[in-house]
Amino acid sequence: MTTGELAVPARPTNRFRTALIVAAFVAFTVATCIPAIGGIDLDVGAIVRNWRNGAGKMLQLLQPNFAFLPRTWAPMLETLQMALVGAVASAIVSVPITLWAASPTNPNSWTRITVRTLVNIVRSVPDLVFATVLVAMVGVGALPGVLTLFLFNIGIVVKLVSEAIDSSDHGYMEAGHAAGGTQLQINRVTALPQTWPLFANQWLYTLELNVRISAILGIVGAGGIGRILDERRAFYAYGDVSVIILEILVVVILIEIMSNLLRKRLV
């Protein structure tokens, strides 16, 4: 090893980029501070004036009424059923749509762009809007909830998995084409096993998500634990509300633990 001065090349600097970042930071700060051009008018004083109102409710929430628990079993079961049915139905339908939406598995740009546009439209509608509209269309109950979860899950799975397929290595496709295979044959025999872990990962994620979302959907009449949550809140029965919230928490954690265990076995 020589001991002289090392001839380290000058580190490249990019003044233009630095200036751009500083400018963006300043612009962002200004924009968020001026209500007239997009900033939000926050009145922090309201917290000081009103905190006593909330404190009363918090105290009630801290005294969960466990006697109410048996009445939540049936709605909670309905929520779990909605989550599962929504996740399974969307999982099945998501496979062909995803392969349609990814460029390695669908070289035809017209059908690909059409499928992607439709999925993006579905994705851009908030889940509560779907639920509200579907409740009006098919009536109050679990059905609008399941349909909402189904549409919501399709959007997630197709978007995330098709992008993962786009960015993954697919040399095996070239071999399939070289052997004279149709795209459908190549997808079925090689692309499907290859992308299966990507799918399974997202399917498990939608199951977790569904339990959380379906707890809220009941508020607009789409069945499940959310409906009873909304009902107890309307009666100011905060002891019951707190029991329901705790129950949702426990169920969500259990589902997450289960799906993490499954996920470890996937790779």
Partner 1 sequence: MHTDARRVEAGDIPASTSWPVELKSVSVTYPNGTKALQDVSLRIEPGEMVSIVGLSGSGKSTLIRTINGLVQATDGTVTVGPHEITGLSGRRLREARGHIGMIFQGFNLAERTDVFHNVLVGRFAHSSPFRTLLGLPTKADRELALRALDSVGMLEKVWARANALSGGQKQRVAIARALTQQPSIMLADEPVASLDPPTAHGVMRDLRRINGERGLTVLINIHLMDLARQYTTRMIGLRDGAVVYDGPAGAATDADFEQIYGRPIQSDDTLDARA
Candidates 70-78, 149-157, 184-192, 199-207: pick the segment binding partner 1 (CB under 8 A).
184-192
- Could you say whether residue 182 binds partner 1 (CB under 8 A)? yes
Tell me which of 184, 250, 253, 254 binds partner 1, using CB under 8 A: 184
In whole angstroms, give the CA distance from residue 132 to residue 210. 17
Cβ within 8 Å of residue 101, ≥6 positions away: 112, 115, 116, 119, 158, 162
**Cβ proximity to partner 1, 35 vs 197, nearer residue:** 197
- Judged by CB under 8 A, does residue 226 bind partner 1? no
Q: Which phi-psi region, left, alpha or beta, contains residue 173 (left: φ > 0; alpha: ψ -120 to 50)?
A: alpha
159 or 170: CB nearest partner 1:
170
**Nearer residue to partner 1 within complex by CB, 29 or 166:** 166
Comparing CB distances to partner 1, the nearer of 166 and 174 is: 174
- What does the alpha-carbon distance between residue 85 and residue 80 come to, in Å, rounded to a whole number? 9
- CA atoms of 183 and 188, how far apart (whole Å): 9
- Which secondary structure element, helix H or strand E, spans residue 54, and what is its range? helix 45-61
Q: Which residues contact 104 (CB under 8 A, 6 or more apart)?
A: 165, 166, 168, 170, 173, 191
Given candidates 81, 172, 233, 252, which one binds partner 1 under the rule CB under 8 A? 172
* Binding residue (CB under 8 A) for partner 1 from 18, 129, 177, 258: 177
Distance CA 229, CA 72 (A): 9
Q: How far apart are CA 30 and CA 28, in angstroms?
A: 5
Q: What is the total count of residues that contact partner 1 (CB under 8 A)?
A: 22
* Of the residues 10, 37, 40, 179, which one makes contact with partner 1 according to CB under 8 A: 179
For residues 139 and 127, what is the distance between their CA atoms, to the nearest angstrom? 17
Q: Give the shortest CB-194-to-partner 1 separation in angstroms.
A: 5
Per CB under 8 A, the list member of 29, 174, 236, 254 interacting with partner 1 is: 174
Contact status: 39 vs partner 1 (CB under 8 A): no
Q: How far is the CB of 179 from partner 1 (least distance, A)?
A: 5
Where on the chain is the footprint of partner 1 (CB under 8 A)? 171-172, 174-182, 184-186, 188-191, 193-194, 196-197
